[in-house]
């Protein structure tokens, strides 16, 4: 079952062209990730997140920690380490729930990311992740622990090699970051259109540094 075929996307309705030309290969692969996600998990929880890299001028409280942000691991593999860490945390959380006797549904992590530079030449990542809504349905309080938001912030801190309290400020959840894609609900197509419009921004050619030897885009393949 193909829920949303990128060949029939209507450019005037579903795609955000407010920021200029889009890279069609990026958009096509993101649509493919969404297709695979909703095919495996008919109730999909989708989240938009921004991940920032510490740079010059970044200051975080160091009262209880002795790891300067200048020691952060910001190499090209940082985004791969993030997703590997997040996946490991999800697996550990599911196993812990099972040991506690809680029924837990399978959950495959899917994602796409783009790396950009802002006007101040600071690198950052725009990402989205897809999860099984029967396993994770809420981010939780951003300032709390033992919830999905904290797992995401902790995964970014692990990727950077920083204490989670230092990395917390580098994870940004934009306004209304969550989307529920339930294929059995009458609002599925509406929510899907809204999500695709939201993430199509990530495919914009502007602000991508195509001259670098490092990739500006990546996504899950399963």
Q: pLDDT tens-digit profile of 36-80?
A: 999 999 999 999 999 999 874 444 544 444 445 567 899 989 999
Lowest mean pLDDT among 4-13, 141-150, 184-193: 4-13
Residue 3 lies in a domain: no
Q: Closest by alpha carbon to 105, among 40, 161, 154, 21?
A: 40
Q: Closest by alpha carbon to 75, among 168, 171, 214?
A: 214
Q: Are 148 and 140 in contact (CB under 8 A)?
A: yes
Does the pLDDT value for residue 7 go beyond 80? no
Q: Closest by alpha carbon to 187, among 82, 81, 43?
A: 43
**b/e string for 25-42 if b means 16 or more Cβ within 10 A?**
ebbebbbbbbbbbbeebb
Residue 93 lies in a domain: yes
Question: In this structure, how many other beta carbons lie within 10 angstroms of the beta carbon of residue 158?
Answer: 19
- The secondary element (H helix, E strand) that includes residue 52 is strand 43-52
Residue 175 lies in a domain: yes
pLDDT for 66: 43
Residue 15 lies in a domain: no
pLDDT for 8: 42
Report the distance separating Cα 194 and Cα 12, nearest Å.
Answer: 13
> How many domains in the chain?
1
pLDDT for 64: 42
Domain that includes residue 166, residue range: 23-53+72-219
Residue 12 lies in a domain: no
pLDDT for 159: 97
Does the pLDDT value for residue 147 go beyond 70? yes
Residue 6 lies in a domain: no
Q: Are 1 and 39 in contact (CB under 8 A)?
A: yes
pLDDT for 63: 45
Residue 120 lies in a domain: yes
Residue 4 lies in a domain: no
């Amino acid at each position: 079952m193909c829920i949303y075929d990128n060949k029939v996307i209507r450019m005037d309705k579903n795609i955000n062209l407010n920021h200029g030309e889009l890279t069609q290969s990026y958009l096509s692969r993101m649509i493919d990730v969404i297709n695979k996600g909703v095919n495996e998990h008919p109730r999909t929880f989708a989240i938009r997140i921004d991940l920032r890299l510490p740079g010059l001028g970044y200051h975080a409280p160091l009262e209880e920690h002795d790891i300067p942000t200048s020691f952060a691991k910001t190499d090209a593999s940082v985004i791969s380490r993030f997703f590997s860490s997040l996946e490991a945390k999800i697996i550990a959380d599911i196993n812990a729930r099972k040991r506690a006797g809680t029924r837990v549904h399978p959950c495959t992590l899917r994602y796409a990311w783009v790396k950009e530079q802002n006007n101040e030449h600071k690198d950052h990542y725009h990402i989205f992740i897809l999860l099984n809504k029967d396993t994770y349905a809420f981010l939780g309080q951003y300032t709390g622990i033992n919830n999905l938001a904290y797992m995401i912030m902790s995964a970014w801190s692990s990727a950077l090699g920083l204490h989670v309290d230092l990395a917390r400020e580098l994870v940004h959840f934009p306004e209304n970051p969550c989307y529920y894609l339930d294929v059995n609900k009458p609002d599925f197509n509406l929510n899907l259109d809204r999500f695709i419009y939201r993430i199509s921004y990530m495919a914009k050619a502007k602000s991508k540094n195509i001259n670098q030897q490092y990739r500006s885009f990546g996504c899950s393949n399963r």
